[in-house]
């Protein structure tokens, strides 16, 4: 696959394909092929946040009071998230090189930056709650924990295949893996932190997780748009065999996330694992619909409606007062955004 040239004087600014296309390399937001990318760009910019602006002092006093199993789950989950966002920074960087559309490349640049910020939040949270030695250990969990390793390799293999031999086929599979990483693999973590927040515990960490979920929802939208556009630009990929691949991959992802939830959330007060099993299928259905595909699982619904980003009003009413945090001033564009409930 060819990389986008820095500039190509023979091509138009507006691209003709998302990869393997022709475009000048110059970005003019008023001359782009997929106009929804300008709206997405503004939403992403409006959602900007910085972990270190969220004071950790209340969480610092909450953490030692949590039951030991809850503390262990907290550390395991942060250990997972740190790997997911690290992988994601690299993957988005790989994708950027091959996008032959300046608006997509620009949005990917912002998304890559957000993944770096997500990683900053994990270091920031741990440095506030545990010793430096323990922080280093938590960032190593993924190497030694077989369940963690298995689910991370599942994504890593698809990303690595694209890195090693980039082609429309490996790109297609990597996009499906991306939908799983950003759209399925965070959900046991969201359940865990929002459950703590319902109990008024670890509210600063949960606030960061809420911002991360808001970002990830937009990233899912972006990659689903890439997925659908890829099938339009490369109709030879729009075949039954690939559709089967998507459903099988999603189904395996649901199994991984369920197994992970059973492993880390078992015995956590307030979490009903049966409910989570149905809920994660409901989320998988949503991801498939976003990709323009029919749902895979029947008889499931949004049984855990409290797993969603906190609204800015709720944050301003409760959390901000409690933490005496600076009021957030970045968000201007996110209110008109319809993708938050995806
Ligand atoms: Zn992220
Ligand atoms: Zn993301």
pLDDT per position as a tens digit, 272-309: 999 999 999 999 999 999 999 999 999 999 999 999 88
Task: For residues 89-96, give the mean pLDDT.
Answer: 97
pTM summary value: 0.91
Task: For residues 195-223, give the mean pLDDT.
Answer: 96
The pLDDT-based confidence of 339 (bands split at 50, 70, 90) is very low
CA of 9 to the centre of ligand 2 (A): 33
Domains and CATH numbers, the chain: 36-301 (1.10.620.20)
CA of 215 to the centre of ligand 2 (A): 6
Q: What rounded mean pLDDT belongs to the chain?
A: 91
Listed in order, strand segments (DSSP E) in 67-126 are none
The pLDDT-based confidence of 310 (bands split at 50, 70, 90) is confident
Two structure tokens written together for 290: 């976003």
CA of 116 to the centre of ligand 2 (A): 10
Tokens 């630009």 belong to 233
| Total count of residues recorded for the chain | 342
pLDDT per position as a tens digit, 183-208: 999 999 999 999 999 999 999 999 99
Three-state secondary structure call for residue 93: helix
Which of the residue ranges 242-246, 266-270, 317-321 would you say has the lowest mean pLDDT? Answer: 317-321
Catalytic residue among 122, 124, 187, 194: 122
231 to 21, 108, 146, 299: CA distances (angstroms): 14, 19, 35, 29
Q: Known catalytic residue: 227? A: no
User: Is 123's pLDDT higher than 80?
Assistant: yes
pLDDT per position as a tens digit, 129-171: 999 999 999 999 988 899 999 999 999 999 999 999 999 999 9
69 to 35, 64, 66, 208, 268: CA distances (angstroms): 48, 12, 8, 22, 8
Residue list, CB under 5 A from ion ligand 1: 85, 115, 118
User: How many percent of the chain have pLDDT more than 90?
Assistant: 88
Task: For residues 327-341, give the mean pLDDT.
Answer: 44
Residue 335 pLDDT: 43
Buried b (16+ CB within 10 A) or exposed e, 88-125: bbebbebbbebbbbbbbbbbbebbbebbebbbebbebb
Burial class (CB in 10 A: 0-12, 13-18, 19+), 13: middle
Residue list, CB under 5 A from ion ligand 2: 182, 216, 219
């Amino acid at each position: 696959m060819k990389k986008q040239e820095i500039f190509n004087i023979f091509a138009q600014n507006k691209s003709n394909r998302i990869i393997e296309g022709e475009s000048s390399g110059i970005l003019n937001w008023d001359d782009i092929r997929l106009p929804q990318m300008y709206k997405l760009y503004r939403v992403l910019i409006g959602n900007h946040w910085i972990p270190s602006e969220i004071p950790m002092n209340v969480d610092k006093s909450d953490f030692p009071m949590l039951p030991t199993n809850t503390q262990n789950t907290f550390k395991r989950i942060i250990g997972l998230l740190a790997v997911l966002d690290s992988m994601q920074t690299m993957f988005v960087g790989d994708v950027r090189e091959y996008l032959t559309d300046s608006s997509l490349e620009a949005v990917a640049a912002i998304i890559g930056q957000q993944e770096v910020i997500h990683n900053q939040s994990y270091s920031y949270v741990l440095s506030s709650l545990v010793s430096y030695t323990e922080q280093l250990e938590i960032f190593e969990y993924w190497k030694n924990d077989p369940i963690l390793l298995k689910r991370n390799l599942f994504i890593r293999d698809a990303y690595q295949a694209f890195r090693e031999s980039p082609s429309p086929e490996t790109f297609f599979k990597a996009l499906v893996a991306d939908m799983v990483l950003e759209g399925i693999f965070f959900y046991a973590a969201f359940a865990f932190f929002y459950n703590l927040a319902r109990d008024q515990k670890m509210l600063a960490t949960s606030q960061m997780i809420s911002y991360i979920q808001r970002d990830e929802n937009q990233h899912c939208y972006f990659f689903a748009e890439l997925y659908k556009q890829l099938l339009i630009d490369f109709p030879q990929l729009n075949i039954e065999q690939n559709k089967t691949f998507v459903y099988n991959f999603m189904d395996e992802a649901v199994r991984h996330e369920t197994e992970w939830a059973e492993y880390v959330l078992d015995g956590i007060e307030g979490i009903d694992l049966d409910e989570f099993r149905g809920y994660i299928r409901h989320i998988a259905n949503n991801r498939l619909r976003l990709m323009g595909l029919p749902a895979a699982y029947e008889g499931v619904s949004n049984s855990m409606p409290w797993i969603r980003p906190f609204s800015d009003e709720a944050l301003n009413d409760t959390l901000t007062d409690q933490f005496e945090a600076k009021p957030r001033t970045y968000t201007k564009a996110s209110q008109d955004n319809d993708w938050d409930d995806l």
